[in-house]
């Protein structure tokens, strides 16, 4: 997947990391949900 990435940026309005791929698709990672999941599994 790393060779297919055109751009990656953080959108502060949505708290998401948006990854644009060469095939025209976009992946959006909701950072707050990832942080919460990590915090719950830390212990």
Render pLDDT for 25-41 as a digit per residue (tens, 0 to 9): 999 999 989 888 888 77
**CA angle at 4 for the pair 10 and 23, rounded to the nearest 5°:** 95
The reported pLDDT for the residue numbered 3 is: 81
- Above 60 in pLDDT, residue 1? no
pTM over the 0.85 mark? no
Domain that holds residue 15: 2-41
User: Phi and psi of 24, rounded to 5°?
Assistant: 95, -5
Looking at the 3D structure of the chain, how many domains does it have? Answer: 1
Query: Among residues of the chain, what percentage have pLDDT more than 90?
Result: 63
């Amino acid at each position: 997947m790393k060779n297919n990435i055109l751009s990656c940026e953080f959108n502060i309005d949505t708290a998401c990391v948006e990854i644009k791929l060469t095939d025209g698709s976009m992946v959006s990672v909701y950072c707050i949900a990832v942080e919460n999941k990590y915090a719950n599994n830390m212990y």
